[in-house]
Amino acid sequence: MSDFNNNQKNNQNIDQNRSNSSQRSKSQGQSQARKIKPQDLYPPKNPPKKKLADEERSYHPDEDNLASQKRKLAEERLVSDTEDGGRKDKKKPSVVSEDNLDLRTMSHKERRKYNHQKEKEKLSELTFWRKVQYILMYYSGKFLAVVAGIGAVALIAYRIYVAACPVALDIIIVNDFTNGSFEPVVTELYSSYYEIPERARFYVDTNYELHPNTTFTTADMTYYNKMYSVMTGNTTQVVICESDVVDYYAIDGFAMELKHALPEDLFDYFKDRMYETDGPVEDADYYAIDLTGTKFASMIETSLERPMFCMPSSLNDENRQIAFNFLRMIMLIEEEQEVR
């Protein structure tokens, strides 16, 4: 009986141990399942870097290198300036070398002095031609900028001077650009008949080629534009040309009508030489004076078959008077010729 009871107890203990072990295995499986994370199943593409070792994290650069020396010098200088209280009588080193202190810690005056000294040292070691090459290589841009600035100032000053000078005579001749004697003869004649101020200037232009009765070309348009500025601007007083040019500009009113513009003495003297053409005003058809056969025409040695005198209609009173003086000069030349 006792043996049966013992066996029964042993069987119960075995069953209990089995149930306990199964429960422990289930609880362990559940805990292991809860510990598994997604990053364990799928590792990241860029794993984090490993932490440096203690000796690597504690690494410091050598305190005796050049950068640390410069930093110490800068700190010492800052401390000394602070302790000094900003006194003006404190003596500073003449030149702070780059080996002792970084250029960015220098003042503007010290940096300029240092650069000047370095340039002198470079040039002192070079021969003459090496110095020339060095200067041209590194300072050519500055040199050209200075030359350009001086040239611009000189040009502006010259233009101001020319604009301030009075104009003695401004005259052009059309379709006679090969005439080399026109300018000196006109200048000399006008100066001999009238008193010219010392600073007065003569403007004589022979570079005009106009043929209104022919087809215009691209090259001709340059001359026509230039002539248009002459006839509409208040600059040129006298135009010497032929009849086709007079007709072209008179019909649109660019040439001055001489019957009502000329003084009475000049009109009476040249009335037999008046050139009549159609214009914009009725009973006003005299726009030029024919100079063919005059002494003046022979003196200027013009190649024009029928040279004529005309005036732009845009002239003010002062420029009109200059044109009248020029025409009166031709009259005086003719009178002297008649006396002789």
pLDDT at 105 over 50: yes
Whole-prediction pTM: 0.57
Rounded to the nearest integer, the mean pLDDT of the chain is: 77
Higher-pLDDT residue of 45, 239: 239
Instruction: Flag whether pLDDT at 245 surpasses 50.
Output: yes
pLDDT above 80 for 191: yes
pLDDT band at 124 (very low <50, low <70, confident <90, very high): confident
If you average pLDDT over residues 177-201, what whole number do you get?
90
pLDDT value at residue 316: 92
Question: What confidence score (pLDDT) does residue 59 get?
Answer: 47
Q: Note the pLDDT of residue 64.
A: 55
Which residue blocks in the chain are alpha helix, DSSP H? Answer: 2-35, 38-41, 54-57, 66-84, 108-124, 128-164, 182-193, 218-232, 243-250, 258-261, 264-270, 295-300, 317-339
Q: Provide, rounded to the nearest whole percent, the portion of the chain with pLDDT above 70.
A: 68
Query: Facing residues of 238 across strands?
Result: 171
Asked whether residue 279 carries a pLDDT value surpassing 70, the answer given is yes
The fold adopted by the segment(s) 166-339 is D-Maltodextrin-Binding Protein; domain 2 (3.40.190)
What's the pLDDT score for residue 7? 57
Confidence of residue 254 (pLDDT cuts 50, 70, 90): very high
In the chain, CATH 3.40.190 covers 166-339
